[in-house]
Copies of this chain bind each other. A is one copy, B any other.
Amino acid sequence: MPFSYVSHLTCPKCKRTYSVRKKQQLCFCGSPLLVEYQLEELKKNLSPTDIGEREPSLWRYHELLPIKSADHIVSLGEGMTPLIPTPKLGRNLSIPNLYIKDEGTIPTGSFKARGAAVGISKAKELGIRELAMPTNGNAGAAWALYAARADMKATIVLPVDAPTITRAECSISGAKLHLIHGRISDAGKIVAQMVAEKGIYDVSTLKEPYRIEGKKTMGIEIAEQFNWKLPDVILYPTGGGVGLIGIYKSFKELQNLGWIQGRLPRLVAVQSTGCAPIVKAWKEKKNSSEFCTNSTTVAFGINVPKALGDFLVLEAIYQTDGCAVAVDDDMMLQEQKRVASLEGLFICPEGAATIAAARVLRENGWIQEQETVVALNTGLGLKYPNTVQIDTPVLLED
């Protein structure tokens, strides 16, 4: 039985196909590429019960990942993050069956580790030695650290306003770190120039096809953790949107395998009112988004003015009868505090945005009381210590 059932790459726009044996970036038409698997073959050879005893990492799903040989895996033990019942928060929201999938409990402290682990492993399999990327912080930290583990050179370009802790993560890994005045879109332009000049591998969001495969394991885990019966709603903080695209892709694959039945969860893209291009596009029933100028939000990870995969995010929303919601920074920070004090989870502002959105959607009736709802916390709150107000008396030693 093969380690991976990966087949080839397909362009979701123009339907061109590409080999997974060579380095690929975007399609000739400019679209991101998606990985295809031999699902009919896999269906005959594997069932969910085979997976139960495997190690608690995302590599338990290796048949559905693009790495052909276990020897190429670059892992820090990422995946199988806790799916945490949050009944007190749920009562507060009138959503008693509320869960938080906690992506803080993962190497590098954010869900970006999934994309980095699979992306770097595939890059290793392809013989790649050097890469570059723009980032809002967490992705750069994750890719820099996994690149170090894989003996690859990494160049990371980061807005100067991004959480400063992520600089330490990039720097200690030995990566080349550049700070810029501007947003991730500006950082992206600098990387594009480097890549064009030096021919190094561009691992910007969706410019290589494998990060999404790492992210999709969040969807598979949610399915497995609910014993292959999916929840009604999943809320996801949406910047580049790779996680949402990945979760949707995983559910389609699990449907094809016959591992899940029935309606898919309604997928909700949550954005900040300070940067909500997907919400605007969804409200206007469009299939792509417009560049959001002067974007700003405390949830730095979702400050993405224009996502390359916007059309895939919108497709996932439309196909699952989902929606897109924007919440403001104050709402996020209030929920961040409430989640910590009620449930003991110190989530990041992006994760808190999903709770704020759940509140809005419950209040307007889009979420029903009896529904099972999963909110994705994409990382550790402690990467953003400045979002917490501390008012503490200093006692003198007596």
Contact = CB atoms under 8 A, between A and B. Distances in A.
Interface of A: 52-53, 56-57, 74-77, 80-84, 88, 102, 104-109, 145-151, 160, 164-165, 167-169, 171-174, 177-182, 186, 190, 336-337, 340-346, 380-383, 385, 388-397
A76 B394 contact: no
A346 B108 contact: yes
> What copy number does this chain have within its complex?
2
21 contacts: A75-B84, A76-B84, A76-B344, A104-B107, A105-B105, A107-B344, A108-B346, A148-B340, A148-B342, A149-B343, A164-B385, A167-B390, A168-B388, A168-B390, A172-B336, A174-B341, A177-B392, A180-B394, A180-B395, A181-B394, A380-B380
Nearest to A387: B168
Given A180-B397, A385-B168, A395-B190, A343 B57 contact: no
Contacts of A343: 148-149
A105 B102 contact: no
Contact of A388 (B75, B171, B340): B171
A340 B179 contact: no
Nearest to A166: B382
Nearest to A397: B182
Nearest to A347: B172
A337 B169 CA distance: 10
Contact of A76 (B102, B178, B186): B102
Given A57-B82, A174-B340, 19 more contacts: A56-B56, A76-B344, A76-B345, A102-B107, A145-B345, A148-B341, A149-B343, A165-B382, A165-B385, A169-B346, A169-B382, A172-B336, A173-B340, A174-B341, A177-B390, A178-B393, A179-B393, A179-B395, A182-B397
B381 A382 contact: no
A228 to B, nearest CB: 15
A179 B392 contact: yes
A115 to B, nearest CB: 14
Contact of A81 (B77, B83, B389): B77
Contacts of A56: 56, 80
A382 B148 contact: no
A222 B159 CA distance: 40
Contacts of A108: 346
